[in-house]
Structure 1
């Protein structure tokens, strides 16, 4: 079950629920799969026109490893097709942000306009 306090989010694929999370192990798997450091992956994610479908598939695959180990890239591609590309990207983004809560907090402090309330 997805728990946002632990950095995990649900990904609904048809009638099945999966859990995405980016633990240290999942991020290491992602770095190995894409042959890039996390900082480069983050830059790619933040530049939608540079984002490849294969990168999205690898992100989802890595995010599933903590809770659904053994799932293949081909299976993940089918899941994305069923769940929809945009909803899947949104869930990956949410899970990725939860993996770096200190960065989010620091960004909020650096921009006082975001902290209105």
Structure 2
């Protein structure tokens, strides 16, 4: 079962539920497959005109690896097709955002040094 507090999202395909998440290992696998740093991958996701279908398939494949290790890239493509490409990409995007949470409001507490007087 997906746990959004741990960065995972459920992708429902018929009666089968898949879990997408982007751990450090999953992101490394994605970078290796696409031969791009994660920052470039994020930029491509945010610019649909530059996003290739092979990249979409790779993103979904990498997101499945933490919970469905051993699935091939082609199997991930079939899962995305069966779920519906827009649905699969939206779920992957949601899991991707959970992997990079925004910092808490107010930022980290600091302990400023007292001025010596």
Q: Where on the TM-score scale, by shorter chain, does this alignment land: which range?
A: 0.7 to 0.9
Q: CA deviation at 1:34?
A: 0.3
Match of 1:114 in 2: none
Find the residue that maps to 1:17 and give its secondary structure: strand
In the superposition, the TM-score normalised over structure 1's length comes to 0.86
**CA distances 1:63-85 after superposition (whole Å, capped 9, x unpaired):** 00000000001111111111001
CA RMSD of aligned residues (A): 1.4
Larger radius of gyration: 2
Q: Structure 1 or 2: larger helix share?
A: 1
1:26 equivalent in alignment to 2:22: no
| Equivalent residue, structure 2, for 1:4 | 4
Unaligned 5+ segments in structure 2 are 107-117
- Runs (4+) off by over 6 Å: none
Query: Equivalent residues in 2 for 1:1-117 (5 A)?
Result: 1-101=1-101, 104-105=102-103
Consecutive unaligned residues of structure 1, counting only runs of 5 or more, are: 110-117
Aligned residues: 106
1:33 is paired with a residue whose SS is helix
TM-score under structure 2 normalisation?
0.86
Cα shift at 1:13 = 1.1
